[in-house]
Amino acid sequence: MTQAPRVTLSGGIDMPQLGFGLYKVPAEDAARLAGEALGAGYRSLDTAAMYGNEAGVGLAVAEAADGGLPREDVFVTTKLWNSDQGYDPALRAFDRSLSALGLDYVDLYLIHWPCPARGLFVETYRALERLLEDGRVRAIGVSNFQPEHLRRLAAECTVMPAVNQIELHPWLQQDLLKTVHAELGIRTEAWSPLGRGRILRDPVIAEIAAAHGVSPAQAVVRWHLQCGHIVIPKASSPERIRENADVFGFELTADDLDRIAGLDRGERTGSDPSEVN
Ligand SMILES: NC(=O)C1=CN([C@@H]2O[C@H](COP(=O)(O)OP(=O)(O)OC[C@H]3O[C@@H](n4cnc5c(N)ncnc54)[C@H](OP(=O)(O)O)[C@@H]3O)[C@@H](O)[C@H]2O)C=CC1
Ligand SMILES: O=C(O)C(=O)[C@@H](O)[C@H](O)C(=O)CO
C-alpha cells in the first residue's frame, strides 16, 4: 500500500492516520495478524491491556525489527483499563503493559474509558503526564471521553490529551465532540470505524463504493481519512487487512461526502461511555 499520511499530534509527535485495531483478536493470533498488517504497510497498531493481546503485538513489532523495520517506524498504542484508574495503580498498570509488550516505550497511552462514577480520571491522567515527563510514552491521550471530561482535564491538568479515541462511523458522526476536539487541539481517532462491519451493508455506502469500483470497507476507510480522522479498522484475514489499507487510489467526491453526512443517526455499535464504569 501507499504509506498512510501522518498527522501531527499536539505534542509534536507524528502518528500514522491509518492503523490496525486488535480488539477481539485472540492472544494466539495477535502476532500473526499484527505482522500481516505491518507487512501490508500499516505502521500503527492499536491494542489495550483489556484485549489480552499486548504480548502478541510486541512480538510482531520485534519480529518486524528483526526483518528490517525499525521499532521507531511503528506506532504502538495501548490503553489503561478501568480497574487500574488512580495515580499509583495507573503507573503500575503501565509497567505491566510495557512488560507484556516487551518494549522500552509506548508511542501513545490512553485512558480507556472515563468511568465518571469512579471519580478518578483526573488523577489517572496526572499519572499519564508523569509517564510523558519521564519519557516512557511519546504521547498521552484518552478514549471515550465526553465534552465535560475533556473540559475538566483542560482546567485541571498541564498537558492536553493528544487524541480522544471515540466510536465514530457514518451512523455515529460525533459532530459535537469533534467541535470540542478542534477547540482544545485534540485529534479525533475513530474506533469501530466500520461500525463493527454493520455499516458495510448500508445501501448508500454500497452504491458509493460501486461507483468507485472499491469495496464498502474501502469507501468507509476513505471517508474517515478525508474527514481527517485517525482510523483503526480491525480485520481477521490477510485479504481484508490489505483491502482496508488499499484506499489511496481513489477519492470520494463532495457529493459522496454529502450523502454520507446524511447517514448520521446517532447509532452506537459499542458501549455508551456514560454506562461504563
Ligand atoms: N477505545 C475503545 O473503547 C475501543 C477501541 N476499539 C479499537 O478500534 C478497532 C476497530 O474497531 P472494531 O470494534 O474492531 O470494529 P471495526 O469497525 O473495525 O469492524 C471490524 C469488523 O468488520 C469486519 N471487517 C473488517 N474489514 C472488512 C472488510 N474489508 N470486509 C468485510 N468485513 C470487514 C471484521 O470482520 P473480521 O474480523 O471477520 O475480518 C469485523 O467484524 C478495535 O479493533 C480496537 O483497536 C474498538 C472498540 C472500542
Ligand atoms: O474494544 C474496546 O476497546 C472496548 O472497550 C469495547 O469494545 C467495549 O468493551 C465495548 O464497546 C463493548 O461493546
| ipTM metric | 0.98
Grid coordinates standing for 213? 469500483
Angle at the Cα of 191 from the Cα atoms of 69 and 245, rounded to 5 degrees? 45
Out of 18, 23, 51, 188, mutate this one to test ligand 1's pocket (max ligand atoms within 8 Å of CB): namely 23
Helix, strand or coil, per DSSP, at residue 167 = strand
Return the exposure string of 217-243: e unless at least 16 CB atoms fall within 10 Å of the residue's CB, then b.
bbbbbbbbbebebbbbbbbeeeeebbb
- Tell the burial category of 63 from Cβ atoms under 10 Å away from its Cβ (0-12, 13-18, 19+): middle
**Is 52's C-beta closer than 6 angstroms to any atom of ligand 2?**
no
Domain ranges within the chain, ordered by starting residue? 6-268
Each of the 277 residues of the chain gets a pLDDT tens digit; together they read 567 899 999 989 999 999 999 999 999 999 999 999 999 999 999 999 999 999 999 999 999 999 999 999 999 999 999 999 999 999 999 999 999 999 999 999 999 999 999 999 999 999 999 999 999 999 999 999 999 999 999 999 999 999 999 999 999 999 999 999 999 999 999 999 999 999 999 999 999 999 999 999 999 999 999 999 999 999 999 999 999 999 999 999 999 999 999 999 999 999 999 999 9
Phi and psi (nearest 5°) for 9? -80, 165
CA–CA separation, 121 and 114 (whole Å) = 6
Name the residue with the closest Cα to ligand 1, atom 33: 197
For ligand 1, the distance from its centroid to the CA atom of residue 195, given in whole angstroms, is 7
**Which CATH entry fits the domain spanning 6-268: 3.20.20.100, 3.20.20.70, 3.40.50.620, 3.20.20.140?**
3.20.20.100
